[in-house]
A = this chain, B = another copy of it.
């Protein structure tokens, strides 16, 4: 049993909590973060040793909250490709563009990282039933890993969420509730169900370990670049857990002395139809107001009131990053151009990152010689409507 995980900590009020008791938010309303004895990690482990380990996210086990990694609930997740995309990169004037392809993960999205670690930790804490609202992919991932753990899962999602994700939940035997509304309405449904039937609330940032799984996205990018960060990481931001996780990863690597060079600038990408973080950033604020009447074809970032607004904005400010909103029409055009150039079918959220990169190049915020990672958060084929099905006879 390792003891690197020391406690939970509130980033807002500084309160400390026991990490070995199932916990949701801090009493002050903020999400909690897991803290580790990084000095002990640094004494026991080197980057060279990590490099020799299997190619999954458990290679970072000393920086993860699961005390017995041998009992991790795993489907082989992690170590996704970091792809140079030279043809498309040259086309838009950024040959140093890279795509982190999270479609290779189980359930075809980056949500598998949070679910693998979150479910593993929940199982270790004796939880036998999790419940969460979702725009689709998180529900699919948590339902899948819950089944793998022999745990019950209850999921609520908007009726407009990608149908593929609903079917994934059903395959895994989850209790699925469709809501005629948005993710906020699904969250209300989950609260009702939990009040009626019990279950641990595994909503985004309401439990502290999903973010630890997402953190591995940042750890991998840095390791894949030889323990150096790119100049910028462009992240499609709905709930924002991945961005918070990347920021936490970079901070822990810096504290360990394992990060060569400068930390990356973190770029929030949202849709012009739902841009609460972008609006708050433009106003220089640390909290975001809910976005009225949100809508975008990039369904995963259709989150009007992210609970992690403060953590997201802190990460953007601290990293010298920015936040930018992009149009659905441009997203789809970039998705198709990228497909023709590189073959890969990005999800609309990933393609939104390309649109953002083009605009940031045009404005001079990114320079043409920058090394930039766009996170493609999942498989394009989970969103069949992004491509017309017509073909010749």
Contacts and interface: CB of A to CB of B under 8 A. Distances in A.
B81 A104 contact: no
B392 A143 contact: no
A339 B172 contact: yes
Nearest to A55: B55
Given A144-B344, A384-B163, A106 B106 contact: no
Interface string A313-333: 000000000000000000000
A297 interface: no
A167 B381 contact: yes
A336 to B, nearest CB: 7
Contact of A389 (B82, B148, B166): B166
Contacts of A145: 343
B340 A172 contact: yes
A5 interface: no
A389 B147 contact: no
Interface in A48-91: 52, 54-56, 74-76, 79-83, 87
A212 to B, nearest CB: 20
A157 B347 CA distance: 24
Contacts of A47: none
Interface stretch (A17-25, A173-181, A228-236, A257-265): A173-181
Given A170-B391, A336-B171, A391-B178, A75 B148 contact: no
Contacts of A80: 76
A167 B343 contact: no
A235 to B, nearest CB: 19
Interface residues of A, number: 61
A172 B87 CA distance: 13
A209 interface: no
Q: Give the copy number.
A: 2
B101 A147 contact: no
A342 B145 CA distance: 8
A76 B87 contact: no
Contacts of A387: 167, 170-171
A380 interface: yes
Given A175-B392, A392-B177, A143 B381 contact: no
A79 B77 CA distance: 12
A147 B381 contact: no
A106 to B, nearest CB: 7
Interface in A362-386: 379-382, 384
B76 A146 contact: no
Given A144-B343, A147-B342, A101 B75 contact: yes
Nearest to A157: B391
Interface in A335-350: 335-336, 339-345
A252 interface: no
A197 B391 CA distance: 18
22 contacts: A56-B81, A76-B81, A101-B106, A106-B344, A108-B108, A108-B381, A144-B345, A145-B343, A147-B339, A147-B343, A148-B344, A166-B391, A167-B381, A167-B384, A167-B387, A170-B387, A171-B340, A171-B387, A172-B340, A173-B339, A178-B392, A379-B379
What are the 8 tightest A-B residue pairs by CB atom distance, in nearest-first order? A76-B81, A55-B55, A147-B343, A176-B391, A171-B339, A144-B343, A173-B340, A148-B343
